């Protein structure tokens, strides 16, 4: 299956809901997709967008643009173009030529961090980049074993903690190993945490400081993993982590299990961080690099 088709398939719950809402409300109220977007049509459009979890701010922006086009515009095209602009509009981590590049993966419990690290190693591997996977979740032995299985499947190096040690020490070991072995990337999986857990947030700080001591500028990227099925509540989590953990990008997981795929637009417009990858399933190749263009096309192309 092509990457686009995998995305389309992963987004089908959202897409199907969005297209049926469009067909049932927007089209009816505007007298066809080429109709005048005003009055009732705008109200219908607003409901449709909010139901897809696109969020209040992004919805307001989309309505403004749709409304200002008057009677000639095709509502669907106007919404698509503006949505793409919203999703495209944020800068990511600055590209680095430093080797190994260090990618830190953070987020609240159960969002899909460990799984995403495994899939990301696979994705990088396919692009010819060799990784070291670092298990900095020292809380759950099961988490370390889970990650080791992923590393073995992908053929990545794996560095684990001696039990009960400081996660920053494992990070030090993993980055040092990556350096010594000439690897391209070090992927660091961390334990799930809430931003309100002061000690655990300090631990992230320490991990960052230690990483920066081994390789200049590390971590070069900090990915916040957000679970799309949580919808708007994920935004509050995101905002808290953004400030506390130096997040440079988002991995949006579990899109295959929700009709709330519009949350991508809320993330970029309200948090101002780019989405870097999306998770569309539990298999190894179910993590896709994010493309605003493909995302919007997939959202408006139903799979019946």
Q: Which residues contact 224 (CB under 8 A, 6 or more apart)?
A: 106, 107, 238, 241, 242, 245, 247, 249, 250, 251, 273
> Per rule CB under 5 A, is residue 187 in the interface with Mg ion?
no
For ligand GTP, the closer CB: 21 or 267: 267
Long-range contacts of 199-205 (CB under 8 A, 24+ apart): 201/244, 201/245, 203/167, 203/168, 204/104, 204/106, 204/244, 204/245
In 3-state terms the chain splits into helix, strand, coil percentages (rounded to 5) of 55, 15, 35
Smallest gap, in angstroms, from Cβ of residue 143 to Mg ion?
5
Q: Which is nearer to Mg ion, 25 or 116 (CB)?
A: 116
Of 41-49, 107-115, 204-212, 291-299, which part binds ligand GTP (CB under 6 A)?
A: 107-115
Q: What is the contact mask toward Mg ion in residues 118 to 157, using x (rule: CB under 5 A)?
A: -------------------------x--------------
Candidate list 35, 100, 279, 302; residue touching ligand GTP; CB under 6 A: 279
- The C-alpha atoms of residue 23 and residue 17 are separated, in whole angstroms, by 10
Backbone angles phi, psi at 285, to 5 degrees: -100, 25
Q: Is 282 in the site for ligand GTP (CB under 6 A)?
A: yes
Distance of closest approach, residue 192 Cβ to Mg ion, in angstroms: 6
Q: How many residues bind ligand GTP (CB under 6 A)?
A: 21
Q: Which of 160, 239, 241 is nearest to 200 (CA)?
A: 241
Shortest Å, Cβ 117 to ligand GTP: 8
Return d(Cα 184, Cα 302) in angstroms, integer: 38
Q: Does 237 bind ligand GTP (CB under 6 A)?
A: no
Instruction: Name the one range near Mg ion by CB under 5 A: 59-67, 74-82, 106-114, 162-170.
Output: 106-114
The answer to whether residue 137 forms part of the interface with ligand GTP (CB under 6 A) is yes
Assess 281 for contact with ligand GTP (CB under 6 A). yes
DSSP state of 294: H
The answer to whether residue 143 forms part of the interface with ligand GTP (CB under 6 A) is yes
* Exposure string over 267-289, b if 16+ CB within 10 A, otherwise e: bbbbbebbbbbbbbbeeeebbbe
Residues forming contacts to ligand GTP in the complex (CB under 6 A) are 107, 109-115, 137, 143, 192, 225, 253-254, 256-257, 279-282, 286
């Amino acid at each position: 299956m092509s990457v686009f088709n995998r995305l389309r398939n992963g987004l089908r719950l959202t897409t199907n809901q969005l297209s049926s809402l469009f067909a049932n409300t927007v089209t009816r109220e505007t007298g066809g997709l080429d109709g005048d977007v005003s009055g009732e049509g705008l109200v219908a459009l607003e409901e449709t967008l909010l139901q897809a979890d696109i969020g209040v701010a992004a919805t307001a922006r989309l309505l403004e643009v749709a409304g200002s086009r008057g009677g000639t515009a095709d509502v669907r095209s106007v919404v698509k173009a503006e949505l793409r602009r919203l999703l495209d509009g944020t800068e990511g981590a600055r590209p680095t030529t430093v080797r190994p590049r260090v990618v830190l993966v953070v987020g609240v419990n159960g969002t899909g961090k460990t799984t995403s690290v495994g899939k990301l190693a696979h994705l990088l591997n396919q692009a010819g980049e060799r990784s070291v996977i670092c298990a900095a979740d020292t809380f759950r032995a099961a988490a370390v074993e889970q990650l080791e299985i992923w590393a073995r499947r992908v053929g990545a190096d794996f560095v684990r903690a001696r039990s009960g040690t400081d996660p920053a020490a494992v990070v030090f070991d993993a980055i040092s190993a990556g350096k010594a072995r000439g690897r391209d990337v070090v992927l660091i999986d961390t334990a799930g945490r809430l931003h309100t857990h002061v000690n655990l947030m300090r631990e992230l700080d320490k991990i960052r400081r230690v990483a920066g001591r081994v390789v200049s500028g590390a971590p070069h990227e900090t990915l916040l993993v957000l679970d799309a099925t949580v919808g708007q509540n994920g935004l509050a989590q995101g905002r808290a982590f953004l400030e506390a953990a130096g997040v440079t990008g988002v991995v949006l997981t579990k899109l295959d299990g929700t009709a709330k795929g519009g949350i991508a637009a809320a993330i970029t417009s309200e948090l101002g961080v780019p989405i870097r990858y999306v998770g569309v399933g539990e298999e190894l190749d179910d993590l896709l690099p994010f493309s605003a263009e493909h995302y919007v096309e997939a959202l408006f192309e139903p799979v019946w």
